[in-house]
Structure 1
């Protein structure tokens, strides 16, 4: 027998498994409210501590009509990962139903919010836009700020616009490009922009330190870009370590390295806490970005 419940869905009410077919022996079935399609997905994604890319898929599914824009493969990937998260939480003994609005204990919620804030503030695009301005202001005053604005706009501003447009159109899951399959195309765009920027600055007679700063970006991409084809190396820590090395080249190195190590470690911690990277991926990014920057500055300055 089928009955209609809230939301217009049909619920099959049959006899319990193993029960004899008699009216006197039949137990009443308990009817539960069946959530509409989009509410079920929103409820699940709010209860799970899932990575950003998977959570973005879930929120697109949660919007009414959002599932129509996704392929069957996208839905399968999301639900498979959601089931894995549920099993993992149950093995750890967490109570998913009573943990709170986000499905996490209060201390974990606070930790995740702080980690998410660190990740957002020190995103690679923000560092790439801020570093040339700082280097230009320290080494060349207003003229240096002008050169820094050119480098920041071409190497950081345009890629950020591309990323935001990609997220809104659904090409990227989030602005940190946590899905490794989406990275090669974006890396190619950024690489072309960096080469154009360096060519312009050399042609227009930019100061050597500003040209070297753009060359550091090129070297970092050259080291980390090929790795991301087969392993999800962290661009957050790579860009952060490269920025620290660059600033230590024009400022007193001891305090810069001391503060930079703490900052890079905090960024690495945030990427691990929100489960976008493993510790090995963050360490590899920091080592690769720092080494590429130091070698480039040594060769050019």
Structure 2
């Protein structure tokens, strides 16, 4: 059997490294350090991202794969995504409760909520079409980076382009599915953060 070409192996590495939970740790650590004032809150936000946003999510997919409930760790068969995604929502909800009780910054609360709502959206879309969860999972963080940093966040597009190339190279998605993931992920995340943050500030919830 011949070895896979370098381009394929590179795409595989990028796809494995840049799963949505990986961005959870990076982005929420950045938000915690940038927005929270108390050390314990910074550590709590990072801890929630590490446990509910990364470790439990990865463990859950390993479990479903081991049980034969998903064909691979990419959940490449769209019909197999529904149950793992609902479990993911349950895990994210627990994280949201912890962050809310700790009165984390409104941007952190709203962005975490996006993980729940965006996953629900993906479940609905997957009933009819296989949208790229990888692209959507990268575009969500792009949305919060743009919200926080303005046009400086456009540099994040480089990461999204690389991930999109990898998913297309692996034949996991068509260009249209990747583009849709980016557009949906960015648009819905940015709008939700803007709406929720303004609502919380106007009502003095935080």
Q: What is the TM-score normalised by the length of structure 1?
A: 0.61
SS in 1 for 2:36: helix
1:119 match: 15
CA contact (8 A) 2:143 2:190 kept: yes
The answer as to 2:144 corresponding to 1:260 is no
1:163 match: 61
Aligned CA RMSD, in angstroms, stands at 1.7
The answer as to 2:35 corresponding to 1:144 is no
**More RCO (CA 8 Å, sep 6+):** 2
1:237 match: 135
CA contact (8 A) 1:112 1:274 kept: yes
Please report how far the alpha carbon of residue 232 of structure 1 lies from its aligned counterpart in structure 2 after TM superposition.
0.9
Residue by residue, what CA displacement relative to the aligned partner does 1:224-264 show, whole Å, maximum 9, x if unpaired? Answer: 2210122111011101011011122223x22321x211211
**What is the aligned counterpart of 1:188 among 65, 76, 86?**
86
Aligned pairs for 1:79-94 within 5 A: none
Please report how far the alpha carbon of residue 156 of structure 1 lies from its aligned counterpart in structure 2 after TM superposition.
2.6
2:173 match: 277
Cα distance in 2, alignment partners of residues 213 and 281 from structure 1: 23
**What is the aligned counterpart of 1:201 among 94, 99, 105?**
99
Decide which structure has greater helix share: 2
Please report how far the alpha carbon of residue 207 of structure 1 lies from its aligned counterpart in structure 2 after TM superposition.
2.2
Residue by residue, what CA displacement relative to the aligned partner does 1:175-195 show, whole Å, maximum 9, x if unpaired? Answer: 111111210001110112222
Q: What is the TM-score normalised by the length of structure 2?
A: 0.87
Runs (5+) with no aligned partner, structure 2:
198-206
Please report how far the alpha carbon of residue 125 of structure 1 lies from its aligned counterpart in structure 2 after TM superposition.
1.9
In the alignment of these two chains, the number of paired residues is 195
Residue by residue, what CA displacement relative to the aligned partner does 1:25-58 show, whole Å, maximum 9, x if unpaired? Answer: xxxxxxxxxxxxxxxxxxxxx5xxxxxxxxxxxx
Residue by residue, what CA displacement relative to the aligned partner does 1:193-223 show, whole Å, maximum 9, x if unpaired? Answer: 2222222322332222221121121232132
Q: 4+ residue stretches of structure 1 with deviation over 6 A?
A: none
Please report how far the alpha carbon of residue 297 of structure 1 lies from its aligned counterpart in structure 2 after TM superposition.
1.0
2:116 match: 218
Cα distance in 2, alignment partners of residues 190 and 276 from structure 1: 21
Question: Which is greater in Rg?
Answer: 1
Cα distance in 1, alignment partners of residues 176 and 192 from structure 2: 24
2:72 match: 174
CA contact (8 A) 2:135 2:160 kept: yes
